[in-house]
């Protein structure tokens, strides 16, 4: 079976005895084509197994129907929820996601953004507000709507749908302090890769200092992405070094759950001996025993709002007045940090 070329509108047209233009019209709706002709064309399409070639249409129309998206990791429920919200919000408008992941690396982000822009997306959504200089130039020069999400960049490229990771981390510190904890540690990934994680750590430090507390219990759990296993290992290291720690704030619920399990293995009771808080409102934080105090950044809402921003920018839906939408994360106090 030699890979014969797929049929084109020409082939349909020849078979039905009309011009390719009529085929083109018949395949879209809202166009005026004789009902019988249209039916004949439908039939021919079926018989020949014709599949519309959007690459050709894209070139001709200078519209691809792509919205490019970069996320740090494909294996992260928070970002997955954002992508789902975004995808669902765009699909009714014929827009399709072109997704890539950066592995928490700005150089990979730069390469990815360039690769994505070659596909001529109609808009581009990037997770985070930190980019290489060239990446920034690429985004600015693309002449398409740019949305930075999951962050509040100081100098946004275009649209922003995000929240302050630092403020959200501060909410957790305030809560832990309010329940009487003073010796509080922060567990996160190594600095320099995950800028949202770095912001959360900065927010932890700032809040601790605001309360006049020692902010030096900072544990690096490894190169992002860090997850449950790293959280457990870091917790063990922490409790060996500083057994008097009263509370642990983790950069994500996944680490926090790892911390919880390590406490269980070490026979340390949570929250009596140590309080644990996470970040992200992952499903596990709600269901584990005890459930984890966390912050909900509304990942899916970020996606939906980003979709709204894109649609507005493309003139496909009424546009919002502001180019900047700040989501208010919600503190969720659960048993893992009870007083």
85 binds a copy of itself (CB under 8 A): no
43 binds a copy of itself (CB under 8 A): no
Rounded least distance, CB 24 to DNA, Å: 3
Cα(172)–Cα(250) distance, integer angstroms: 10
Rounded least distance, CB 1 to a copy of itself, Å: 8
Sheet containing strand 218-220, strands side by side: 218-220, 184-188, 247-250, 275-277
Instruction: Provide CB contacts within 8 A for 325, sequence distance 6+.
Output: 159, 160, 161, 162, 305, 309
Q: Which one, 126 or 198, has the nearer CB to a copy of itself?
A: 126
Binding-site partner at residue 28 among a copy of itself, DNA, none, CB < 5 to 8 Å by type: DNA
Binders of a copy of itself among residues 147 to 206 (CB under 8 A) are none
Binders of a copy of itself among residues 227 to 256 (CB under 8 A) are 227-229, 232, 254
Stretch that binds DNA, among 45-53, 68-76, 210-218, 227-235 (CB under 7 A): 45-53
b/e burial code for range 15-24 (CB count within 10 A of at least 16 → b): bbebeeebbb
Q: Which of 106, 117, 206, 213 binds a copy of itself (CB under 8 A)?
A: 117
79 three-class SS: helix
Instruction: Provide CB contacts within 8 A for 18, sequence distance 6+.
Output: 37, 41
* 164 in Cβ contact with 199 (< 8 Å): yes
What are the E-state strand segments in the chain?
Answer: 66-71, 96-101, 123-127, 146-149, 159-162, 184-188, 218-220, 247-250, 275-277, 294-296, 324-326, 330-332
Report the interface residues with a copy of itself, using CB under 8 A. 3-4, 6, 49, 51-56, 58-59, 64, 74-75, 77, 80-81, 83-84, 87, 96-101, 114-115, 117-120, 137-138, 141-144, 227-229, 232, 254, 257-258, 261, 264-265, 283-284, 286-289
Report the interface residues with DNA, using CB under 7 A. 5, 8-10, 18-22, 24-25, 27-28, 32-34, 37, 50, 52-53, 56-57, 59-62
């Amino acid at each position: 079976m030699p890979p014969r070329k797929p049929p084109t509108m020409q082939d349909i047209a020849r078979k039905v005895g009309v011009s390719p233009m009529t085929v083109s019209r018949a395949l879209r709706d809202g166009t005026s084509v004789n009902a019988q002709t249209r039916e004949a064309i439908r039939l021919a399409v079926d018989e020949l197994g014709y599949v519309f070639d959007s690459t050709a249409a894209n070139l001709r129309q200078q519209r691809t129907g792509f919205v490019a998206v970069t996320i740090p990791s494909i294996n992260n429920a928070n970002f997955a929820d954002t992508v789902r919200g975004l995808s669902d919000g765009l699909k009714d408008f014929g827009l399709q996601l072109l997704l890539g992941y950066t592995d928490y690396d700005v150089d990979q982000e730069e390469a990815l953004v360039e690769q994505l822009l070659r596909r001529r997306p109609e808009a581009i959504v990037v997770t985070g507000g930190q980019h290489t200089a060239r990446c920034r130039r690429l985004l600015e020069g693309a002449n398409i709507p740019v949305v930075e999400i999951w962050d509040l960049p100081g100098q946004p490229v275009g649209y922003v749908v995000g929240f302050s990771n630092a403020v959200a981390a501060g909410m957790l510190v305030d809560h832990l302090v309010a329940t009487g904890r003073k010796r509080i540690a922060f567990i996160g990934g190594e600095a320099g890769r995950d800028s949202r994680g770095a912001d959360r750590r900065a927010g932890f430090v700032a809040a601790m200092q605001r309360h006049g507390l020692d902010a030096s219990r900072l544990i690096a759990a490894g190169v992002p992405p860090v997850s449950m296993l790293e959280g457990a290992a870091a917790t063990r290291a922490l409790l060996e070094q500083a057994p008097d720690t009263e509370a642990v704030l983790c950069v994500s619920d996944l680490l926090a759950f790892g911390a919880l399990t390590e406490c269980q293995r070490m026979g340390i009771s949570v929250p009596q001996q140590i309080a644990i808080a996470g970040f992200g409102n992952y499903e596990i934080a709600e269901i584990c025993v005890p459930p984890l105090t966390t912050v909900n950044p509304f990942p899916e809402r970020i996606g939906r709002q980003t979709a709204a921003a894109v649609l507005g920018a493309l003139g496909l839906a009424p546009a919002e007045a502001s180019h900047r939408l700040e989501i208010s994360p919600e503190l969720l106090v659960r048993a893992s940090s009870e007083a």
